[in-house]
Amino acid sequence: MNDQKIPLPPDVDPCDAEGHDHKALRLDEARAQILSGIRPVAGRETVPLPEALGRVLASPVRSAVDVPSHRNSAMDGYAVAGSELPRQGERSFEVVGTSWAGRPFAGRVGDGQCVRIMTGGMVPAGLDTVVMQEHVAEANGSARIAAGHRVGQNVRQAGEDIRAGAIALQAGVLMRPAHLGLVASIGVGEIEVFSRPRVAIFSTGDELCSIGTPLGEGQIYDSNRYSLNGMLSRLGVEVQDLGVIRDTAEDTQRAFEEAAAKADAILASGGVSVGEADFVTETLQRIGRVGFWKVAMKPGKPLAFGQVGQALFFGLPGNPVSVMTTFYQLVQPALQALMGIAEPAVPVMIKAICQSKLRKRPGRQEFQRGVLARGDNGEYTVTSVGDQGAGILSSMTQGNCFIVLPLEHETVQPGTEVEVQPFDGLV
């Protein structure tokens, strides 16, 4: 477990609903407060390079070799001494051999001579320039080269990419396919990564029913844990599913204590409003620490953030669209920091022309669901999926983006330029 110490204000009273709306944080303020005290998980492990995809580098990787390890050609052509290139007209060079990738030319090259060279082939000593084969006329062992070429062209220098002794990758990098290739290029076969954070999830509510169980009167199937499990799995953390917790103070506290004992972060959905059967925020205040519990965003206004023991705690709203929206905007950056990522990803924002009327009142930053498209003229357009209710989970499957409407904006008319976050840019 991590010895987290999240800076949380001591005077937040989540049960004081009267006049509390003015204390709702802006989204950027909430995100900054969450990230301000998070440190990566303490555990580290060494893994073989093929198993490092999606892991976070825990210590810098230093190269023991130059990359590339030798001067080589960037294309097929002829290696010559740049000082012998003609300034005007043409000059013929005797072709004295070939340098293949992995099979260098072993002879000597004299004045007026050149070497046929393949992409990746080592540039022979005394030569410093490659003329691509399309610009050379070869016949009977002679290569005729015209003026107009630059000394040093088409040659990759030793160490041009990475110098021996230099740091190839800094700690805090999320290992993607290109990073695996880079580490392989310096001959490193295993790396040290941060352990995967453990994230406990549970849903609260007597109305929730597990899949495979017939619905009782007034019940609904719990979808939130499945959405959360999917988002967390794609993020690359270890998920511990505690199931559905009944709406009692005793069951809620028991779930808190179990989750805090085994996880680095806790995600609860439902029970964060102020009502007689909403025990999540009350329990957080009693046995943990409360940072804030309202964010000026829609959907997702009631969101409790704090700490239980050494575990981060997020009390997410119960509505399924609110759960996904708050996860992407606030929980995911926090978990990325917990994973050890030095700079949590900033969602991609694209400007598009809105083709729908979007109803909005000032006061909250809104994330409406839309369909982003690109016309034949290259211009992006976005259309609302329709019903924007926080319980309409189908809006997340029918749409492919959030239409992001700033806090102070009012209703958007068709033809207005807006910013959108493509869903594909959120993972």
Rounded Cα–Cα distance for residues 124 and 136 (Å): 19
Rounded Cα–Cα distance for residues 72 and 69 (Å): 9
352 and 418 Cβ atoms separated by less than 8 Å: yes
List of the chain residues with pLDDT < 70 = 1-22, 273-277, 427
Rounded Cα–Cα distance for residues 128 and 106 (Å): 16
Residue 223 has which token pair? 């979808």
Rounded Cα–Cα distance for residues 237 and 334 (Å): 12
Give the model confidence (pLDDT) of 127-155 as tens digits. Answer: 999 999 999 999 999 999 999 999 999 99
Domain residue ranges in the chain: 21-43+195-339, 45-64+163-194, 72-156, 350-426
Q: Using the 8-state DSSP alphabet, how is residue 133 labeled? A: G
Specify the pLDDT at position 15.
38
Specify the pLDDT at position 427.
60
Q: Which residues contact 385 (CB under 8 A, 6 or more apart)?
A: 369, 370, 371, 395, 398, 399
Asked: is 72-156 a CATH 3.40.640.10 domain? The reply is no
Which CATH number applies to 45-64+163-194?
3.90.105.10
Which pTM was predicted? 0.85
Which CATH number applies to 350-426?
2.40.340.10
CATH number (3.40.50.10320, 3.40.980.10, 3.40.50.2000, 3.40.50.150) of 21-43+195-339 reads: 3.40.980.10
Specify the pLDDT at position 277.
54
Specify the pLDDT at position 16.
41
306 beta partners: 290, 313
Residue 46 has which token pair? 């060494």
Q: If you write DSSP's letter for every residue of 140-181 in order, what string do you get?
A: TTEEEEES---TTTTEEPTTSSB-TTSEEE-TT-B--HHHHH
Residue 211 has which token pair? 């899949």
Rounded Cα–Cα distance for residues 354 and 416 (Å): 6
Specify the pLDDT at position 20.
38
Going 38 to 229 to 202 to 220, the CA torsion angle's sign is positive
Rg, C-alpha atoms of the chain: 30
